[in-house]
Structure 1
Amino acid sequence: MSESTTEREIDRPVTRHGARRSRVLVVHSSDEMYGSDRIVLEVVSELVSTDDLDVTVWLPTDVEPGRLGPLLSELGARVERHPLPILRRMKLTPGGFLRLGRDAVRTLARLQGRHFDLVYCATSACLPVAPLARLVGIRRVVGHLQEPWGAKDRVGLRPLARACTALVAVSRSVLGASGLAEDARAVVVHNGVPHRSRDLPAEAPAHPRPHYVVASRWNPHKGHATLLRAWEKAGCPGELVILGAAPEVGLGVDVPELVARHVSRPETVVVVGEVDDATPYLQAADAVILPTDTLEGFGLVAVEAFSEGRAVIASRSGGPEEVIREGETGWLFDCRDVDALAHLLASLDVATLAEAGKRAQQAYLDEFTPERMRRRISAVVDGELHGRAAARSLAVAS
């Protein structure tokens, strides 16, 4: 096949019935496999399964190639890496803004020659692409808000979000924090994750004392210090396994140093680090802890825990409050409240956690499967491409 033929086929993709396929560009801000990355994988999986869509994914070149790109390619998406105008807190400096502007100009030129029908900005950090897409005449742009915005964030992000023709927020908390809750273009679609185990585990392992796991990036706001101080205050009441790693881009914390500083019985805390699959650790635990100190957009690990029949202890940080039913599928405490978290850790036993885990598993099946999320995302995209009103109603009602 000649190069010119290949280019013509890319420019004019068709369905197996000969109709023109709509060209969708998904722009994402990282190449890892944490929360937002896993949601992008589900979104792209849904889009490529539709015969009338041709899907391209742009990943940034300011991060090292990771695990997400190959998985997206396996799904059938065309994956490309380009310098992209991605908003990162560590790069909001005079030099960083110059590079952002340079990457925006390059992205604008690249968009002009590709004739996309719809651009999907997969995180808030990708929103600078939205006005660029509109400038080159792309009529449909979807923004997926996966992160809560602070007051300063809203100043810069809301004008970019207004370039979108549809907005998806992962929680009511995230939508409220954006200041766009009354925007008719916005819809809340809770995240869903696949259940990775072959069989739904009926019972948690038998432990004399509770075993907990915490799985997140080691960012300062994720609450590791709060958790470890509470762990010590509760008398180190079992075993605590810590998964994750400091982020490749952005601020991180030294979790092993926090353990050494705050915990008098370090043998009760196992720092595993980053793992390819957290499922075995979730299954080996009695419950999951999500101790975020600030706002949490959704808390995907809570739903992952639910899928494995594990209850969740989380801070009242926004998203988790929409997932956890207090005292039924888990427990909530105020952000940074070491005493409250310590009280929970000291008072909960294995049997109580197991009963809450059974209810959590049912909540997952009822509300947080990937099929439910994908159906609603598909409705938003279909609504933008073909008929907004009817499809948006499906997205809201599903």
Structure 2
Amino acid sequence: MLVTNDFPPRQGGIQSFVHGMATRLPVEHLVVYCSTSPGAAAFDAEQPFPVVRARTSMLLPTPGAARAAARVAVEHDCDAVWFGAAAPLGLLAAGLKRRTAIRRAVALTHGHEVGWAKLPVARTALRRIARGCDVVTYLAEYSRARLAPAIDALTSLEQLTFGVDTGEFSPTVDRAAIRRRFGLGDRPVIGCVSRLVPRKGQDSLVEALPLVRERVPDAALLLVGGGPYEKALRRRIAAAGMGDHVVLTGPVPGSELPACYAAMDVFAMPCRTRRRGLDVEGLGVVYLEAAATGLPVIAGDSGGAPDTVRHGETGFVVDGRDIPALADRLSTVLGDRELAARMGAAGRDWMCRAWTWPTVAERLAKLLSP
């Protein structure tokens, strides 16, 4: 049984990770218990496994949720559970083991659990989660180093990274339709796919664009996604005089994401750690999708994001707050087609060898086995 708040049609990197993993496990033995979101009924009808939705947009580890999860586990004869995000729903693990035939619990961590490990009350809850789970996973060495002091003695810490569909995200995807839709023509395009939130660094891209355009005069910026930071970004764009050179698409369907990546010449998400380490990038599936598309990738130095780039080979890792350095890396890649092609090809090759879904799903299946 998969228990999660992070599940489509709600969009996001964790949602993509969890759903991608679910569809690559033996689906005849899987049931999903999750929160609801707009469009859920139509989405669920297309899945190869049953999806049971709680009548809430945020599933919390309450007694009611515990009883409901137990009913689903008993009805579907579940013997293992995995939590799409360890915090907070991993708190249900110990009760599920007491009430049902579940004997194995695995909880995935992303970025926010690293923040939990730093705060006294949240740290106590994270330790309860670890006691109830047989395995807690981490994305990158950055995460492991920060989780281990809190929970290493209480459970098994194992690495489990994102996977990427190298068939869906590919250099062969047509870029023309997206470029026509947003009036990009043949311009050199810097692109970012992400929720519009401060940590992701879209504002740094806006600030860097005038500097980039000094070296690459026709450069444009394509920001794919929606979020609470949109109004602030629009104000920054206007203040920088970049209104004719920045496109904000708003939310786009997941089916259009491969074409959005294909419309770019370089992918950049200069994420940065915020709130004294409480707001940190876990890994960043968008970097993997961009690399699989054959793009050079520029990543911020927050959390596990640097693990998605081979610096100088598949792209660059930058300080997301260093605007001149960011602009220099962007200009270098946009202005050197041979370098961009070489980095894109190296990234694509790396994704196909080390980051495919079958490799990742096999790892999770082993972790779930008694």
- Structure 1, unaligned runs of 5 or more: 1-23, 88-99, 385-398
Quote how far apart the aligned CAs of 1:181 are: 7.7
Quote how far apart the aligned CAs of 1:265 are: 2.7
Map residues 204-223 of structure 1 onto 2, 5 A cutoff: 210-223=188-201
Report the secondary structure of 2:244's partner residue: helix
Map residues 257-336 of structure 1 onto 2, 5 A cutoff: 257-276=234-253, 277-294=256-273, 295-336=280-321
Q: In 1, are the aligned partners of 2:212 and 2:331 still within 8 Å (CA)?
A: yes
Quote how far apart the aligned CAs of 1:167 are: 1.6
Match of 1:142 among 106, 115, 120: 106
Determine if the alignment matches structure 1 residue 164 to structure 2 residue 143.
no
Determine if the alignment matches structure 1 residue 78 to structure 2 residue 50.
yes
Match of 2:366 among 379, 387, 390: 379
Map residues 49-128 of structure 1 onto 2, 5 A cutoff: 49=27, 53=29, 55-61=30-36, 64-66=37-39, 70-71=42-43, 73-82=45-54, 104-113=62-71, 114-115=73-74, 116-125=78-87, 126-128=89-91
C-alpha distance 144-72 of structure 1, shift in aligned 2 (>3 A): farther
- Structure 2, unaligned runs of 5 or more: 177-183, 274-279
Inter-partner Cα distance in structure 1 for 2:316 and 2:21 = 30
Quote how far apart the aligned CAs of 1:175 are: 2.6
Residue 369 of structure 1 aligns to which amino acid in structure 2? Answer: T
Q: In 2, are the aligned partners of 1:44 and 1:72 still within 8 Å (CA)?
A: no
| Percent of aligned pairs with the same amino acid | 24
Q: In 2, are the aligned partners of 1:288 and 1:313 still within 8 Å (CA)?
A: yes
Report the secondary structure of 2:23's partner residue: helix
Report the secondary structure of 2:282's partner residue: coil
Report the secondary structure of 1:127's partner residue: helix
Inter-partner Cα distance in structure 2 for 1:25 and 1:35 = 17
Quote how far apart the aligned CAs of 1:262 are: 4.3
Residue 188 of structure 2 aligns to which amino acid in structure 1? Answer: P
C-alpha distance 261-124 of structure 1, shift in aligned 2 (>3 A): farther
C-alpha distance 27-267 of structure 1, shift in aligned 2 (>3 A): same
Could you say which structure has the greater relative contact order, defined with CA pairs below 8 angstroms and 6 or more residues apart? 2
Q: In 1, are the aligned partners of 2:284 and 2:305 still within 8 Å (CA)?
A: yes
Map residues 10-49 of structure 1 onto 2, 5 A cutoff: 24-31=1-8, 32-49=10-27
Q: In 2, are the aligned partners of 1:84 and 1:107 still within 8 Å (CA)?
A: no
Partner of 1:16: none
C-alpha distance 230-306 of structure 1, shift in aligned 2 (>3 A): same
Inter-partner Cα distance in structure 2 for 1:310 and 1:144 = 28
Determine if the alignment matches structure 1 residue 224 to structure 2 residue 202.
yes
Report the secondary structure of 2:192's partner residue: strand
Quote how far apart the aligned CAs of 1:108 are: 2.2
Partner of 1:391: none
Inter-partner Cα distance in structure 2 for 1:302 and 1:311 = 9
* 1:354-385 deviations in Å (ceiling 9; x for gaps): 22101111111111111111111111112x3x
May I ask how many residue pairs the two structures share in their alignment?
336
Partner of 2:355: 368
Quote how far apart the aligned CAs of 1:259 are: 4.0
Report the secondary structure of 2:358's partner residue: helix
Partner of 1:188: 159
Partner of 2:92: 129
Quote how far apart the aligned CAs of 1:283 are: 1.1
Q: C-alpha root-mean-square deviation of aligned residues, in Å?
A: 3.0
Quote how far apart the aligned CAs of 1:203 are: 11
